[in-house]
Chain A
């Protein structure tokens, strides 16, 4: 008896009890549907986050800091590492260090990370925001290579800036974005809020007002005796042209360069401002003029990360990268996937009980037939195989339709979620993801579970006493 014969016998048996077979398969369909939709939610979340990481090149970038920071101990709540940083002699990040880093062949781009706080004024509206000093080379990288409107500056000394969409929105300037639907409140409408095209912003002047130490106070500390204001801080206003608008951040966007305004390097140098630019400066009391608080480094490819990191650390500087956290993130996802998978598996286990039940019923009905098969020379293995084929078929068909059901359910769920998100002004997301391994894994899992469910009935069928079976009605 060939395997094809066994398959034919199995199929004809299932066909004879179509309704019961269909109901048993339906159980598997629901089980696999539940399992795959659950797991696809986990994989979808993971994909969204890792994609966002990739989109922002977080896997290929690192930050060089003046000292080594034990991030793990900080995460555990031990902040002593931070105070050590202030006590220990820091490694000064100077221009020459920057040049050394730039000279590493695997380094694609390196520049000091600097931001400063400023107040901006545009069309009679004012807002506090932060200004990020960015080299022109960043125009080639995501998300700055794909602006909503206009372009990135191509000279480090131009008096032009790029403004974020959010900043304009916060200023009450609603720039049209095809992916976003504005919902104005009554108050907004009273103020005359309207949606404008990006072109009516581009080329316009924006005032950037910075706080600085009043040079008069430094020059003449007793100036107050001469009737000068006591305020040691002065304000400085400069005007720039808006030449580009960045795209709206979506929910999974972990753009670590978030800022209100992006400004060229040389232009920024000439703006008087308070001399701390990042959180590191506050912690680092030893920071001297002419040194940077942090250098952003991007490597050419992900595999070069470790090498470049080791080279920089050998100089005595500290290195921090999000990629270090990837292991932790992956572990978190593994736990989430396992949990979702376990919940989904419950449904499949119930389906497996359904298979056992169906098979045992089938054996009871076919006892005499099994007896006849044995009497005409059917071996135990052949009879076992017939039942295995039936179980595997239930599992296989169940998996195919189960994947279909899982997909359908996730599409509907995604539609419902997006229907809630879009009115809230969020970018539509795809929360579910069916990678190939999930599709094949579900198939294999379903067949394996079905075969396992068929094991006991198959053994029982094979061991039927033919003498009794032939007397069975």
Chain B
């Protein structure tokens, strides 16, 4: 893959996020700069507390940086209103979490319909879209099961289907295999790789599993104490 021909999709410049509690300040992210190009599979690795999830939340627009900028598809996220940030999460990115974060009282299909509702999909079309999304992750037999009736792998596949509901260009995955056994982990990773290769969806994945990162990533960003110590292409 020639990087020169690819336009940068996400530009992170001198990004810092400092948490301050009473008189103590904790720099979760410190002066981080990197680029992610369209269709890249990027892994962020590092130990617990190295600032991986904070970085992901900043790109998702769930958190605001203390300083520095994120230019997402040409738009400066620092200048976005809270409503614009909600639209960013709704249409531009899809999120996958270690703990799945499905709404427990809603069935698999209802969790996806909720995301479609936020996306403004007409009521009539939601059900068929949700069914085809669940079919694409191999869960058409589990449509009406509640999250606690699903296995970890199944729940994460529902989460992937939900992340894809509004056709995002970027998927932000926060330790997507962290709660899964190795066989299920491989299934999930294959699914993400497939999305990346076949549908050119940019993937930014946080993981502490170096091996997984190395097998699937175009780029690995290694964080330590909030700073990038190494970038591998």
Contacts and interface: CB of A to CB of B under 8 A. Distances in A.
Interface of A: 1-2, 4-5, 9, 12, 16, 368-369, 371-382, 466-467, 470
B115 interface: yes
Interface of B: 57, 60, 62-63, 82-83, 86-87, 89-91, 95, 97, 101-103, 105, 114-115, 117-120, 123, 162, 165-166
A18 B115 CA distance: 26
Contacts, number: 66
B119 A377 contact: yes
23 contacts: A1-B117, A369-B103, A369-B105, A372-B102, A372-B103, A374-B62, A374-B89, A375-B60, A375-B62, A375-B97, A375-B101, A376-B89, A376-B90, A376-B162, A377-B86, A377-B87, A377-B90, A377-B91, A377-B118, A377-B119, A379-B83, A380-B82, A470-B62
A58 to B, nearest CB: 61
Contacts of B118: 1, 373, 376-378, 382
Contacts of A9: 114
Contact of A373 (B57, B82, B114, B119): B114
Nearest to A466: B62
The residue in A1, A372, A380, A466 that gathers the most chain B C-beta atoms within 10 A of its C-beta is: A372
A377 B118 CA distance: 6
A371 B60 CA distance: 13
Nearest to A376: B115
Nearest to A6: B117
Given A372-B101, A467-B57, A1 B123 contact: no
A380 B86 contact: yes
Contacts of A16: 105
Nearest to B165: A376
A371 to B, nearest CB: 8
A361 B117 CA distance: 26
Nearest to B119: A377
Given A377-B90, A379-B82, A381-B83, 15 more contacts: A5-B117, A16-B105, A368-B101, A372-B102, A375-B95, A376-B162, A377-B115, A378-B86, A378-B90, A378-B118, A379-B87, A380-B83, A380-B86, A467-B57, A470-B62
Contacts of A378: 86, 90, 118
A419 B115 CA distance: 62
A374 to B, nearest CB: 7
A1 B120 contact: yes
A470 B86 contact: no
B83 to A, nearest CB: 5
